[in-house]
Chain A
Amino acid sequence: MFSYDQLRFIWWLLIGVLMLLWAITDGFDIGVGILLKVIGKTDEERRIMINSVAPHWDGNQVWLVTSGGAMFAAWPIAYATAFSGFYLALMLVLMALFFRPMGFEYRSKIDSPVWRNLWDWGLVIGSLVPALVIGVAFGNLLQGVPFDFIPNATSANSQLANNINMPFYHGGFNGNELGGIFSGFIGLISLLNWYGLIAGLLSVFMLVAHGGAFLQLKTSDQIRARSEKATCISALLACFLFVVAGVLLYFFIDGYQVTSTIADNGLSTPAVNKIVESGSAFWFRNYAQMPWLYVFPLLGILGFLGAALGSTKHKCIFTFVSTSIAILGVVFTAGVSMFPFVIPSSTTMNHSLTIWDTTSSYGTLGIMTLVALVMTPVVLAYNIWGYYVMRGRVTSEYIRKNSNKLY
């Protein structure tokens, strides 16, 4: 039905869509989590906030799990490279994420301020850390990541690598040469460069704005008023950071480009058969070729501005749609810039992973496309039904009346 190159493109799009759906759905409960201590002044207020997302957060998080699973199935080489290369960063995200299911479920089961405060902090960490670190990771992807497929003498499994064409993740990625046994930690700190931090903060403010927008939809009175303020401020900050990140990317960050021909129907062996170069403003070449793509950064900017405006005018639906559009704009802006790269290598550029040489086999992509095309609409349908069932604002009366049943 589809050719190999078409499937490869479809999966680039699908993984983009999965990540987008994660950012839009789980994004708001992450935003609510970050705001928990900022907006919720009393236990009851925090319960209102938590219960506004309580029936949905778990389902939303599955978009992240599924994105991971889809990368595993569709881009196994990229999955292996990114997950082991960003080892400590991802482990940090993972450990932070532990606190979400635990916090949501356990917090209100015991009526003790200490217990509840503990899980409240758990929820804040479980929301803030993933938002920040995933943003930082994207900021680093844009700069290229030091890995390649050349075995390195300091590595424990270099001998194995030599014998069986094992791809090898090394270099400053893990900082292997630099730090000896602490190289992993040095690698983690090296991710926190200024551009990575800007991307991380952009991600945090974007999701805070989105979480605030969701609270505007689901709460009333004081909490709603505070959420409007939170969305307005963070949307403007995110908008500013988004523009700054773009300008810096143009003038100071070298992009990458495949300058040789690349067989888009070829084997998935990223270490051979292509030439990659880097240079100033290379990340803007796709836009130069197809100027209509500028619609994505534009949507990002307009979305943020719309959210700020909608918040001040008390238009909660408009605000939520705006932050969703902003997220779409930001995610696809980054995706389009990097196309067709999945992970550019800064040490041996020719070994960069692109969507044409990093995928699984034709058979797997075909099966997974079929499953995704059938299942994604089904999943979306019952998710939407779930929101419909749980519609309406969460109020103090509702919390008091159902105190025993709710989170």
Chain B
Amino acid sequence: MVENAVLDPSRWQFALTALYHFFFVPLTLGLIVIVAIMETIYVKTEKEIYKDMARFWGKLFSINFAIGVATGLTMEFQFGTNWSYYSHFVGDIFGAPLAIEGLVAFFLESTLFGLMLFGWDRMSRKKHLAVTWLTALGTNLSAMWILVANGWMQYPVGSALNPETVRHEVLNFFDVVLNPVAQAKFLHTVCGGYVFGAMFVLGISSWYLLRGRDIQFARKSFTVAAIFGFFASFAVVFFGHESGSHVNEYQPAKMAAMEAHYDGVDGCVDFKLFAWPSYKSSTDFTEKDSWVSIPCGTSLINYYKPKMEQTKGERVLGAKQIVEQNVVRVKNGIIADEALQVISGKQVFSHPEDRANALQTARINFDKYKQDWGYGQLVKAVIPKDRSIASATEEEIQQAAELTIPSGMPFLFWTFRIMVGLGLWFILLFSWAVLSVVKGNVGRSTLLSKLSLWSILLPLVAIECGWFLAEHGRQPWAIDGVLPTFLAVSGITVTEVWFTLVTIIALYTGFLIAELYLMFKYARLGPSSLKTGRYSLENSRSREV
């Protein structure tokens, strides 16, 4: 049994630092596009108010951007520091998008961010507009490259395990970049960011409207946010559905967990609306455990063919079938691992001839079963330390296969539903907001303004739910079907990890408090913080909050 005390704190560290980083990234993604749109209108219409809008929302953007940069540094370091075997094993293929992200995206956003902030008076309006759009492009490109990397962890294509170096190496880099999972994920994620950015502007503008302050400024901001958010909210659901069908096709275990499908169903599949999944293992579950179901709901959503067919993606696999399939894969993986020991020279032979003979068989076996090598490694999680995985009993193989269904099913089930529910709520809210824009009565409905204000953080809730679903839903894998998470950690000590975990989170929390303080301060000040002399609070400093 793998008793690696470093694993849990390392996972907590990664999860918490990613979670914190993701508080800020989506807002960065959305807000910069909105700022660029406002500046575009300014350049087209030459109305100062749009410049003020771009500058004010840009100010809030920069407060958020700084903490995004700080927390982002950790992400770049962490693969090497805490997940060194992961880095060793797949750096060949995973490192490339990260390096490209630096060269193509980080440079663009970071260099031009400085010029966007300080270059207003130093270049023509059109040049500045180009700088703002390029900053936006940089942030979006960085999202793309990191999701190419993440998409590969969800659905590893374009690479293969080289038995001689015992590392995954690239076969076709275009497959990695054009990975359908990655591209759908990218679009879904940036659209989520756009919704957050739009809700942020919509909500704060509504607050000014409710207070009757800076009405012109607030209305115009509201309008931009409403229209942008309207399209984004539809797009995020559309690409979410696209992502979901990829999960169904490529990560059936994740789908089974988030939809609480225990046993494959022939015919129409109900959608469990409310439930607390009771699944424990592929032999221990209650078939009907949902309180409310939509008959045939799942089939409708996914356009399943009514008859169960063996083709992937056209039937609903339950956890039970997945475990059954994976028992076979675990067995294959054990054979692949034995072959790998021979090829990599780990297994010692007394005669060169023996080795030559063994090598021949090993190569054949390895080529046949290398896809399942990672499944064989799962046995290490259930077998005593002094035994090799080749000696695994049927029962242990079964236990290893059970691990392929992600744990914590109720949390996956519910984060999915919260995310989808919120996605639908944003469509409603933005539709209403757009309606008020079209009718020309922005700010008249107090209820709409209040709902917008209260919804500011809801996109963030949806986004964090989606992140949890994607990343926890991938467990027990660091790379789906390739490398179990418990193999990926560094050979460092528990004390070290706990020390850094606590220190980083303490620092982050301090930074977050500072960020929120500044955000509230400047959001309350509103456009008056620009000190142009055109806004409500500028002559009464005492009212500054």
Interface residues of A (CB under 8 A from B): 54-59, 61-62, 65-66, 68-77, 79-84, 87-88, 90-91, 94-95, 97-102, 104-106, 109-110, 155-157, 159-161, 163-170, 174, 176, 181-185, 267-269, 272, 360-361, 363-364, 367-368, 371-372, 375-376, 379, 382-383, 386, 389-390, 404-406
A157 touches B491 (CB 8 A): yes
- The residue that B95 contacts in the complex, of A73, A157, A167, A168, with Cβ under 8 A, is A73
A363 to B84, CA, bound (A): 22
Of B77, B94, B107, B111, which contacts A66 at CB under 8 A?
A: B107
Chain B at the A interface: mostly helix, strand, loop or mixed?
helix
CA–CA, A32 and B514, complex, Å: 24
| From A62, A90, A161, A170, contact of B102 by CB (8 A) | A62
CB neighbours of B108 from chain A (8 A)? 382
Closest 6 CB pairs of A and B: A76-B91, A83-B80, A59-B111, A72-B95, A105-B66, A73-B95
C-beta contact mask, B227-259 vs A, less than 8 Å → 1, else 0?
000000000000000000000000000000000
* Interface residues in chain B, defined as those with a beta carbon under 8 Å from any beta carbon in chain A: 2-6, 62-63, 65-67, 69-71, 73-74, 76-77, 79-82, 84-85, 87-88, 90-96, 98-104, 106-108, 110-115, 117-120, 122-123, 162, 164-167, 169-171, 173, 337, 340-341, 344-346, 377, 380, 385, 388-389, 486-487, 489-496, 499-500, 503-504, 507, 511, 514-515, 518, 521-522, 529-531
Chain B contacts for A68, CB-based, 8 A: 76-77, 80, 102
The CA-CA distance from A76 to B91 in the complex, in Å, is 5
A-B contact pairs, 29 of them (CB 8 A): A59-B110, A66-B103, A68-B76, A68-B80, A74-B95, A75-B91, A76-B90, A77-B91, A81-B88, A83-B81, A84-B80, A84-B81, A84-B491, A87-B500, A102-B511, A105-B62, A106-B515, A109-B518, A109-B521, A156-B4, A160-B487, A164-B487, A169-B84, A181-B493, A360-B91, A371-B104, A382-B111, A386-B114, A405-B117
Residues of the B chain whose Cβ atoms lie less than 8 Å from the Cβ of A169: 84, 490-491
Q: Evaluate contact between B340 and A379: CB separation under 8 angstroms.
A: no
Cα–Cα, bound, A169→B489 (Å):
12
Contact of A157 among B65, B388, B389, B489 (CB under 8 A): B489
Distance from A368 Cβ to chain B, minimum over Cβ atoms (Å): 6
The answer to whether B73 touches A65, judged by C-beta atoms less than 8 angstroms apart, is yes
Contact A163 B84 (CB under 8 A): no
Whether A55 pairs with B119 at a CB distance below 8 angstroms is: yes
Interfacial chain B residues near A83, Cβ < 8 Å: 77, 79-81, 84, 87
Chain A residues with CB under 8 A of B84: 80-81, 83-84, 169
- Which residues of A have CB within 8 Å of B80? 68, 72, 79-80, 82-84, 90
Closest Cβ neighbor of A371 among chain B residues: B100
B493 touches A176 (CB 8 A): yes
- A66/B67 contact (C-beta < 8 A), A163-B388, A164-B377, A361-B92 known: no
Q: State the Cβ distance, A104 to closest chain B Cβ, in Å.
A: 7
Task: Report the Cα distance A102→B6, complex, angstroms.
Answer: 30
- A360 near B112: Cβ-Cβ < 8 Å: no
Q: B69 CB to closest chain A CB, in angstroms?
A: 4
Interfacial chain A residues near B337, Cβ < 8 Å: 163-164
Q: When the two chains form their complex, are residues A404 and B74 in contact, meaning their CB atoms are under 8 A apart?
A: no
A170 to B45, CA, bound (A): 64
B374 to chain A, nearest CB (A): 11
**Which residues on the B side are within 8 Å of A84 (C-beta)?**
80-82, 84, 490-492
Given A80-B88, A102-B66, A360-B91, 13 additional A-B pairs, CB 8 A: A59-B113, A72-B95, A80-B84, A84-B491, A157-B487, A157-B491, A164-B340, A165-B344, A168-B491, A181-B495, A364-B173, A367-B170, A386-B112
Contact present for B496 and A88 (CB under 8 Å):
yes
Q: Are A94 and B514 CB-contacts (below 8 A) given A72-B99, A156-B3, A157-B4?
A: no
| Distance from A398 Cβ to chain B, minimum over Cβ atoms (Å) | 11
Complex CA distance for A167 and B86, rounded to whole angstroms: 11
Which chain A residue lies CB-closest to B104? A375
Distance in angstroms from B491 CB to nearest chain A CB is 5
Residues of B within 8 A of A367 (CB): 96, 170, 173
Closest beta carbon of chain B to A302's beta carbon, Å: 31
Q: Note all chain A residues with C-beta closer than 8 A to B3.
A: 156
Are A65's CB and B76's CB within 8 A? yes
CB-CB under 8 A from B389, the residues of chain A are 163
Q: How far is the CA of A168 from the CA of B377 in the complex (A)?
A: 18
A364 touches B93 (CB 8 A): yes
* Contact across chains for A58 and B99 when beta carbons are under 8 A apart: no
A56 to B114, CA, bound (A): 6
Given contacts A105-B63, A390-B119, contact A98 B110 (CB under 8 A): no
Chain B neighbourhood of A405, CB < 8 A: 117-118, 120
- In the bound complex, how far is the Cα of B4 from the Cα of A156, in angstroms? 5
* CB <8 Å contact, A73 and B66: no
